[in-house]
Amino acid sequence: AAKPKLHYFRGRGRMESVRWLLAAAGVEFEEEFLETREQYEKLQKDGRLLFGQVPLVEIDGMELTQTRAILSYLAAKYNLYGKDLKERVRIDMYTDGTLDLMMMVAVGAFKPPAEKEETSAKTRYFPVFEKILKDHGEDFLVGNKFSWADIQLLEAILLVEELDASVLSDFPLLKAFKTRISNIPTIKKFLQPGSQRKPPPDSHYVAVVREILQF
């Protein structure tokens, strides 16, 4: 079968969680990088962007947009979505939380340095996941099986640590979780240099996105 094809800027943004999920599932994927306004306008003109927006993922003969819809489809497809409805809704709750946190941090690259985004990680999000790990008492967040929720929490931890390396100092269970999940072979490989993981946003990335989206 054809490899999934991801259409987005050459950066993290909203597509990075899709790259993480595919990599963790051991699925190879191709990328088409939007570098110019013309490329973006062509996707729009060709009617490939439902709401005129990227991320766009070509998979299984479909053209998917809307990040959460894409992630949800991939989690179900690669059996990373729990064993039943009750586990799936917990995974949805947890991943909505980590996605909110990551979007806050990511948009920070496009705003003047105002309130420290990592504060909400320390005060709102990470205490919740520390408690989940404590109460659940398993290696993984949901059931006792690796899921989309684990992948995305690790992505969020590493993202916030780029802003504040000591952010886990008050969260021993999250520290152990980070080590455990980082050592899963497919994730370990994705964390090595040369993988399709994208670097933190820099001024060039911000300038290209602004140029393409004209904002």
Ligand X SMILES: CCCCC[C@H]1O[C@@H](O)C[C@@H]1SC[C@H](NC(=O)CC[C@H](N)C(=O)O)C(=O)NCC(=O)O
Distance CA(164)–CA(159), nearest Å, equals 9
Taking the complex as a whole, the smallest distance from the CB of residue 80 to ligand X amounts, in Å, to 19
**Interface characters, 89-128, with ligand X (x: CB under 6 A):** --------------x--xx---------------------
Burial label for 127, CB within 10 Å (0-12, 13-18, 19+), is middle
Residue 210 beta carbon to ligand X: minimum distance, rounded to whole angstroms: 9
Residue that is written with structure tokens 């690790």 in the block = 154
Compare residues 55 and 97 and give the one whose CB is closer to ligand X.
55
| Closest approach of ligand X to the CB of residue 117, in Å | 11
CA dist., res. 151 & res. 204, Å (int): 28
User: Of residues 14-73, which lie at the interface with ligand X (CB under 6 A)?
Assistant: 14, 52-55, 65-67
- Least distance between ligand X and beta carbon 147 (Å): 20
The alpha helices in 147-202, defined as continuous H runs, are: 148-163, 172-182, 185-190
Q: What does the alpha-carbon distance between residue 178 and residue 172 come to, in Å, rounded to a whole number?
A: 10
| Beta bridge mates, 8 | 33
Residue with tokens 């684990």: 150
Question: Looking at 21, 23, 133, 209, which residue binds ligand X (CB under 6 A)?
Answer: 209
CB 115 → ligand X: shortest distance, Å? 16
The correct pick among 4, 6, 13, 181 for binding ligand X (CB under 6 A) is 13
Residue type, 207: A
- Choice between 67 and 147, CB closer to ligand X: 67
User: Tokens standing for 107?
Assistant: 């948009």
Question: Contact positions toward ligand X, by CB under 6 A?
Answer: 13-14, 52-55, 65-67, 103, 106-107, 209, 213
